[in-house]
Chain A
Amino acid sequence: MSPALIALLPFIGALLPGLLIRSGRSVAATACGTTTLIALIGLVLHIPAILRGEVITARFEWLPLIQLNANFRIDGLSLLFGILILGIGMLIIGYARFYLSRQDSIGKFYTYLMLFQGAMIGIVLSDNILLLLIFWELTSLSSFLLIGYWRHLPEGRQGARMALAVTGMGGLALIAGMLILGQVAGSYDIGDILTRKDAIQASPYYLPMLILILIGAFTKSAQFPFHFWLPHAMAAPTPVSAYLHSATMVKAGLFLMARLWPVLAGTEEWFWIVATTGLITMTVGAVIAVFKDDLKALLAHSTVSQLGLITMLLGFGTEEAAIAAVFHIINHATFKASLFMTAGIIDHETGTRSIRRLGGLRRLMPITFAIGTIAALSLAGIPPLNGFLSKEMMLAELSDLEIARQTFMIVGTVAALFSVGYSLRFIVHTFFGQERDDYPHRPHDPGFGLYSWPALLALLVILIGLFPNTMAGWLVDASAAAVTGEAQSSDIYLWHGVNAALIMSTIAVLGAVVLLGLHRPLLAAWNAAPRPEAKTIYDWLLLRLVFAARGFTDNMTNGAMPRALAAFTLTTLFAGTLAWYTGAAGPATRDMLPIKLVPAIGWVLAMVATGLMVTFHRVRVLALVLVGIVGLMTSAFFAYFSAPDLALTQISVEVVTVILLLLVLNFLPKRTLVESGATQRGWDAFVATLAGVGFGGLTYAVLRRDFAFDPISGYMLENSYEKAGGTNVVNVILVDFRGYDTFGEITVLGIAALAIFALTQTLLQGKSAKRLRNWTYDQRRAGDRHPLMLVIATRVLLPITLVVGIYIFLRGHNQPGGGFIAGLVVAIALLMQYMASGYAWAQERQTLPYHALIGAGVVAAGATGIGAWFNGRPFLTSAYGYIKLPFLEKIGLSSAIGFDLGVFLSVVGAVMLALNSLSRIARQAGEKVNTKPMDIDLSEDQPEGAK
């Protein structure tokens, strides 16, 4: 199976629970399990090839320009992690089916779980580090959802936030590190990067890159000092803890270190940073775990410690250590997932996870006892279980060190001692001792559905322990080969004779027995001793950060909009001035056009209207009229300076805007009071003048200079007819050359209209609806709401306007016009009916919903674009020809007309929907509803009394 398909399958699986959950949780579980199984089989089929040393790849170009490609690879390391992720994933899906209660919506859980699985498998199969980063972030997000799955629990929410904050921050560092790595290596493909060890280690950026990448790996794998999020993530349901926080996600950091081991490892920096962090984490985690009462907290700290162990092994940089690390990854996944599931069973059956309230479960839950003990003994490193094998390998590595050998051996032994300590404590304090009579529930072994999964893992623990080479040796060899870059053939023995490792191990076990005996006084001392709490420090830091952010925000904006806008204006001006004085504008080369009389009159009109408008802006209706004059002059300006399309658009938009503002003004106060003092107004005027002078000056400077570079429009002018069959170049640009832009723009317009609709919808409910029902207009209503003249005139005008609209639409490709303008013209024709005869009357006669018009428009434009694919051309490439309709001139018919039709429909729909919303508000406010076109009735058959 293609690696890409393996990575895709979990994402497909994530869709299934949503579809299937109504058929029951077993169906959903089976669907997810089957998808996982198929992916696992697909992966397993590659084993023979990988054991031969091949690397299976699949490559798809995604964004080749930035070297982000969907390249996947399967080598030994991917294989190992893939088997862990998919194999344990299957067990977890089965376990969760029985673990989660009836109240939990399990469909959502499975969706999150499959998303996470897909993200994880994506990480381990990626052959492109940018692609890997995407999957990396996805694991952070999906684990956030999983940790916070029990949304009603505050610990769950807090744990999820903390995990996201820490791993998300690490993710950012990792992105930076990976970008440096890609730049230094000259490629973003892992296959290429792995061959460039010398270039990477010789680079001056090696150390910063290493630190950034390691921050990413350490946060993900909960290494000291980022270890604190993992115990808090235990608020998640136990299947999540077993899957994410023991077997897979926390190993992503280890995976990354192993993946980049060939190019990053082997330097002094690598050794000191990685090995030391690992050693500290291993020790700190183990010590804390011994004093935790919550079973899951104990296991979480033990996971931290074990992850530290593996990190340390990777840090040593030797091939033997890498083999030990890989082997321990396998072993840890088996016994730790099993232990978590055991803890989950105990919690499920007794109602508590606190060791203080447990004890004596040996006889009450014999099966759970057996599974838990096997797994915990393996964790302690007791022969002949698999944990013993890898622990011996680790201790042997410690005794083989060349630098800091003694320190590592002593601290390592202490850590091992505490590891044995908490493992034994897990067994002894939970299962041994007196049976109690105060368990929250009556404990008994769970059903087969719950214990079969950890039992399977426990069986693996024994089998790998007894037959390491048959069971896991090949996998260790294959993945170690991928990590070290050289073929490996490890030979794992139970018995090495009496050597340093065995002695250290014996000391650890004996010490642990003593430790357990002294546990009670030690715990009291531990609780009494002052110690830094990572979580308190984290909370404090976060609070400082929020304080700083809030202080900054509050200073920037205090809720006063004019202040913010003035600051914005001044900043813009400052930036513009700075650019002007630091750049070079070149000499004024263009001669000025002579001033003609008619445009000068237009200028005078615009200037006077602007001045009056500012003076009288408090009289709102008057201000609206004056704005209309400025708008009209703008459109005349477009017409004069060779832009007929713009003139037509501007004037029709002007009409619609003024109607809109008038309708709104119907509700708003008609006058603005003087509220700001003279100083304030003076300051505002000063800012405004600065802005005006600046912008006017810039305009003048631009107008007096020729183009600094050749405009790209030459191409469009030359090819407009030849390639797109239109002579109106502006329209051709809109529907063809830059059709994508236009497509986006009509979508935005549609969204704006829908937003208005939604806004109206909320205004028609709740508090504002009540206000509207009791609305009193502050002005006298017109006596004749639907004047005869207006009704008749608009009726006559309607067909004429529609014909004009169609004409403008059809000729748009070659003459000024097109979808935008035609849409506005038709919208105005319809609006006139609404205004003349009222909303209800007009609405009764108009059967097309405006939402549908917008949708149809976007679809029509999109479909036209897609049509090009059938000709084997890129999206939105147009084809054209000419047709002759009877009685009409020959018209050019380009496929772009379909696109323009889409534009037309969207514009009509959007304008009408926006204004329609206002009429709905008016009706809510008690506007009389008319069913006749006019208030006076002109028909013959009036009742007698009326005459």
Chain B
Amino acid sequence: MELLVATAIGAITAAGVYLILRLRTFAVVLGMTMLTYAINAFLFVTGRLVVNMPPILSSHDNISPADYTDPLPQALVLTAIVISFGMTAVVVMMSLGAFIEGGDDRVNMPESDRIMPPLKTVDETANEDEKA
């Protein structure tokens, strides 16, 4: 079983990484969703694979921790799932906003935006302003 889980997590990670390296926003969002699955699953299995021992106490006293799986990674992953929904929603809205505002859904900065204005000291700028 461990082998299956590890290969599945590896495959999903690889798919996620491949997709976030694409050039369009939607693919990147999908890639992030895939990565979320993989990472949440990984965090969850740090409690190791345990079958049929959910952390729901069956008796109120004489509790032996060995009878249950580790609940802590589960609690952490539970909030992580919900938070990643929030994150996905924000990213998706940003990509939608960029598409509507900018007219295309590329993730790269356009070439024309990559050129920075030359650097000047404050005095140089002031001098030029005066000349103008």
Residues on A facing B (Cβ under 8 Å): 154, 158, 539-540, 542-543, 546-547, 550, 554, 558-562, 565-566, 569, 590, 592-596, 599-600, 603, 606-607, 610-611, 613-614, 617-618, 620, 623-624, 627, 630-631, 633-634, 637-638, 640-646, 649-650, 653, 656-657, 660-661, 664-665, 667-669, 672, 675-676, 684-685, 687-689, 691-693, 695-700, 702-704, 706-707, 711-714, 716-718, 720-721, 727-730, 733-734, 738, 741-742, 745, 748-749, 752-753, 755-756, 759-760, 762-763, 767-768, 771-772, 814-816, 820, 824, 907, 910-911, 914, 917-918, 921
Given A543-B121, A771-B101, 5 more pairs with CB closer than 8 A: A606-B12, A642-B51, A675-B23, A733-B72, A816-B54
Interface of B: prevailing SS? helix
B110 partner residues in chain A, CB cutoff 8 A? 559
Tell me the bound Cα distance from A618 to B24 in angstroms. 10
A684 partner residues in chain B, CB cutoff 8 A? 18, 21-22
Q: Are A692 and B96 in contact (CB under 8 A)?
A: no
Tell me the bound Cα distance from A611 to B15 in angstroms. 8
Q: Which of A603, A717, A917 is the one whose CB lies under 8 Å from B8? A: A603
Residue of A with least CB distance to B105 = A668
A741 partner residues in chain B, CB cutoff 8 A? 79
Q: Which of A566, A638, A656, A688 is the one whose CB lies under 8 Å from B85? A: A656
B21 partner residues in chain A, CB cutoff 8 A? 562, 565-566, 684, 687-688
Is there a chain A Cβ closer than 8 Å to B114's Cβ?
yes
A561 partner residues in chain B, CB cutoff 8 A? 28, 107-108
Q: Using a CB-CB cutoff of 8 Å, which residues 86-103 of chain B contact chain A?
A: 86-90, 92-97, 99-101, 103
B55 partner residues in chain A, CB cutoff 8 A? 642, 717, 728-730
Q: Are B19 and A695 in contact (CB under 8 A)?
A: no
Q: Do A637 and B83 form a contact, CB below 8 Å, given A697-B6, A704-B2, A716-B72? A: no
A714 partner residues in chain B, CB cutoff 8 A? 65
Instruction: State the Cβ distance, A775 to closest chain B Cβ, in Å.
Output: 8
Q: Which of B10, B18, B28, B79 is the one whose CB lies under 8 Å from A745? A: B79
Tell me the bound Cα distance from A729 to B2 in angstroms. 25
Is there a chain A Cβ closer than 8 Å to B132's Cβ?
no
A742 partner residues in chain B, CB cutoff 8 A? 79
Q: Using a CB-CB cutoff of 8 Å, which residues 52-70 of chain B contact chain A?
A: 52-58, 60-61, 63, 65, 68-70
A540 partner residues in chain B, CB cutoff 8 A? 121
Instruction: State the Cβ distance, B72 to closest chain A Cβ, in Å.
Output: 5
Q: Do A560 and B109 form a contact, CB below 8 Å, given A634-B40, A721-B63, A759-B97? A: yes
Q: Are B86 and A767 in contact (CB under 8 A)?
A: no
Q: Are B89 and A660 in contact (CB under 8 A)?
A: yes
Instruction: State the Cβ distance, A390 to closest chain B Cβ, in Å.
Output: 38
B50 partner residues in chain A, CB cutoff 8 A? 641-642
Tell me the bound Cα distance from A644 to B120 in angstroms. 61
Q: Are B101 and A689 in contact (CB under 8 A)?
A: no
Q: Which of A554, A592, A633, A713 is the one whose CB lies under 8 Å from B65? A: A713
B57 partner residues in chain A, CB cutoff 8 A? 717, 720-721, 727-729
Q: Are B79 and A820 in contact (CB under 8 A)?
A: yes
Q: Are B70 and A637 in contact (CB under 8 A)?
A: no
Tell me the bound Cα distance from A275 to B89 in angstroms. 62
Q: Are A562 and B22 in contact (CB under 8 A)?
A: yes
Tell me the bound Cα distance from A478 to B107 in angstroms. 67
Residue of A with least CB distance to B20 = A565
Q: Using a CB-CB cutoff of 8 Å, which residues 21-58 of chain B contact chain A?
A: 21-30, 33-34, 37-38, 40-42, 44-58
Tell me the bound Cα distance from A801 to B119 in angstroms. 61
A703 partner residues in chain B, CB cutoff 8 A? 2, 5-6, 45, 48-49
Q: Are A641 and B83 in contact (CB under 8 A)?
A: no
Q: Are A610 and B34 in contact (CB under 8 A)?
A: yes
Q: Are B63 and A717 in contact (CB under 8 A)?
A: yes
Residue of A with least CB distance to B122 = A158
Q: Which of B16, B51, B74, B93 is the one whose CB lies under 8 Å from A593? A: B51
Q: Are A646 and B74 in contact (CB under 8 A)?
A: yes
Instruction: State the Cβ distance, B8 to closest chain A Cβ, in Å.
Output: 5
Residue of B with least CB distance to A161 = B122
Q: Do A614 and B56 form a contact, CB below 8 Å, given A703-B2, A730-B74? A: no
Tell me the bound Cα distance from A590 to B50 in angstroms. 12
Q: Are A745 and B56 in contact (CB under 8 A)?
A: no
B14 partner residues in chain A, CB cutoff 8 A? 688-689, 691-693
Show 12 A/B contacts (Cβ-Cβ < 8 Å), sorted by A: A560-B109, A590-B48, A610-B15, A617-B19, A631-B37, A637-B8, A643-B54, A752-B89, A763-B97, A767-B101, A768-B101, A921-B96
